[in-house]
Amino acid sequence: MVREEEIASIEKELEMLRAKVAVEKEKRDMRRTLRPLRKVWLEIGIEKLDNHEGVMVKALLDSSTTGLFVDKKFVKEHGFKLEKLDQPIEVKNVDGTSNSGGNITHELECNIFYKGHSKRLRMDICNLERTKMILGMPWLAAHNLEINWETRKVKMSICPPWYGRKMAVKQREAKVEDRKNLR
């Protein structure tokens, strides 16, 4: 009888271990599905407005990001002119933690270029660590990109028809303003 009780106890323990392994496997599988499977990076030209010097930067496309961000160290290294915000903006990382660089206190106005397209943007400055630039939903929605997720190639073939004309008008207005400032 003792032997049967031992066997029953071992079987019960084995059943509990199998259940625990199943739960751990389910958690592991869940973690896999929450991680981004593929990242899409673009080689973007970024130009200073004051002297029109430019630099190339790898920008991460991120549809879960609600803004446009550039790394604090990157802009300082390259001597970009920053504008102080009237009020700081709290920034949270993807995991919900506060950003290690603190609140956003400055922004950068610059021109960016990609495959014949250009746009003047205001980007928030924060600590991105290894990433230099993140183009989030405001940029993605404005351009309605075609992304081939297998090859990670990006086409800007669906840009709204008004986009190029607005840019041309803004550029003309900027040139007129520059001429006024020269007088």
Q: Which CATH number belongs to the domain containing residue 160 in this structure?
A: 2.40.70.10
6/46 same-domain check = no
Whether residue 97 sits in one domain with residue 160: yes
156 within 8 A of 148, measured Cβ to Cβ: no
Residue 49 sits in the same domain as residue 27:
no
Cβ count within 10 A of residue 152? 13
Tokens read off for 159: 């840009």
Instruction: Please give the pLDDT value at position 27.
Output: 57
Could you count the other beta carbons within 10 Å of the beta carbon of residue 89? 12
55-79 pLDDT tens trace? 999 999 888 888 899 999 999 999 9
Coil/strand/helix, residue 165: helix
Residues 80 and 167 in one domain: yes
pLDDT at position 124: 93
Residues 34-73, buried b or exposed e (16+ Cβ, 10 A)? eeeeeebebebebbbeeeeeeeebebbbbeebebbbbbbe
Asked if residue 54 and residue 24 are part of one domain, the reply reads no
E strands, 48-155, where? 54-61, 68-71, 83-89, 104-114, 117-126, 133-135, 146-148, 153-155
In this prediction the pTM is 0.65
DSSP 176: H
> What is the torsion angle, in degrees rounded to the nearest 10, for the CA atoms of residue 155, residue 157, residue 160 and residue 162?
110
Express each pLDDT in 74-97 by its tens digit.
999 999 999 999 999 888 877 778
Q: Which of 130-139, 140-149, 168-177 has the lowest mean pLDDT?
A: 168-177
Please tell me whether residues 66 and 141 are part of one structural domain. yes
User: Does residue 58 share a domain with residue 90?
Assistant: yes
Do 75 and 98 share a domain, yes or no? yes
Tell me: do 99 and 31 sit in the same domain: no
81: nearest Cα among 113, 54, 108: 108
Residues 139 and 154: their CA atoms lie apart, in Å, by 14
CB 80 within 8 A of CB 48: yes
Specify whether the backbone of 6 is left (phi greater than 0), alpha (psi in -120 to 50) or beta: alpha
Question: Reduced to 3 states, what is the DSSP secondary structure of residue 35?
Answer: coil
Report the number of distinct structural domains present in the chain. Answer: 2
Domain span at residue 25? 1-35
User: How confident is the model over 7-62, as pLDDT tens digits?
Assistant: 888 888 878 778 777 666 665 554 444 444 567 888 999 999 999 999 999 999 88
